[in-house]
Structure 1
Amino acid sequence: MPEETVLIDSLPVHRDADGWWSHPDYLSEFDDEITEEQFNDWCKRHQVETKITYMESDVSTDVFNVYMEEGQVDCSAWEIQPPNEPGWFILSIHDAEDGPVCIWGRRVTP
């Protein structure tokens, strides 16, 4: 039986005290790391394209250095700049191998 596909819509972003947030439907069927193929399949089923903003390239060197020096748990000083194109909304603000990232989503037509 095929999994029901939930189309993801923009939600108000309420970052926690450390600056993290994830859309409740973002990769909700996965418990741990996923492969690129699984991620691409998830995007196709949910009819979204994604874009990544890296904190390191979206803030001043001073802000990023404070993040690195303070134990890498608080990215709340990051004022994430949205993509220039219309329709993007935040799917997740989380830590990755290269530091904090913001995953943006935008509806695509299948």
Structure 2
Amino acid sequence: MSIKPELVERCEGGYWMHSQFPRTEVDSEVEGWVSKNQLESHFVFMESDIDEDEHPAYERYFHTGDPDFHDWEPGKPEGQGWFVGGIYETEAGPVCAWLRPISESLKETFLNAHKQAVKAAYDYFCACDVGDERIQASEVYERIRTATRIGG
């Protein structure tokens, strides 16, 4: 992946764009860029991310019409590897485009599946009677359990 996280230094109004993020309002162009760069995207809109009664940026932006949302800190999606692609304005209001390499979500999927496999192998081992089948189940369980260890 050639797209790397960059230091986010927002302007006085709260805007910021990654140097490689496409400068376009066409969703399909952004989606194409995300796909081409093997990224996953998640868009967090200020309107649904903060409480309108408790956050001054909401009042300023949506009620007063002031385009300043510098004090909005966008909520980060669950999972590892997310970084900011841009914090900018859309027709629906301010949005934060979060990005991460597709490999991060695949890694999460793999590790979750591995945990399930370890549990299933252990349950199988426990269900086996003492003897050859239990010995084989023990060996399978041990191989699965240690399969994600780095360096042996």
**TM-score (norm. length: structure 1):** 0.80
Within the candidate set 30, 34, 54, 2:26 is matched to: 34
Alignment correspondent of 1:22: 17
| TM-aligned CA deviation for residue 50 of structure 1 | 0.4
| Structure with higher RCO (Cα < 8 A, 6+ apart) | 1
Alignment correspondent of 2:61: 67
| TM-aligned CA deviation for residue 40 of structure 1 | 2.4
Within the candidate set 93, 97, 100, 1:103 is matched to: 97
Question: After the TM superposition, which parts of structure 1 deviate over 3 Å for at least 4 consecutive aligned residues?
Answer: none
Structure 2 CA distance, aligned partners of 1:97 and 1:44? 23
Query: Structure 1, unaligned stretches of length 5 or more?
Result: 1-5
Matching residue's letter, 1:73: P
Report SS of the residue matched to 1:93. strand
Q: 1:9 to 1:81 in 2, by over 3 A?
A: same
Matching residue's letter, 2:31: N
- Aligned-pair Cα RMSD in Å: 1.7
| TM-aligned CA deviation for residue 60 of structure 1 | 1.8
Between Structure 1 and Structure 2, which shows a larger proportion of helix residues? 2
User: What is the aligned residue count?
Assistant: 100
Within the candidate set 58, 77, 94, 2:88 is matched to: 94
Report SS of the residue matched to 1:57. helix
Alignment correspondent of 1:9: 4
Matching residue's letter, 2:87: I
Report SS of the residue matched to 1:61. coil
Query: Structure 2, unaligned stretches of length 5 or more?
Result: 104-152
Asked whether the equivalents of residues 7 and 47 of structure 1 are also in contact (C-alpha less than 8 Å), the reply is no
Q: Percent identity?
A: 32
Asked whether the equivalents of residues 52 and 104 of structure 1 are also in contact (C-alpha less than 8 Å), the reply is yes
Greater Cα radius of gyration, structure 1 or 2: 2
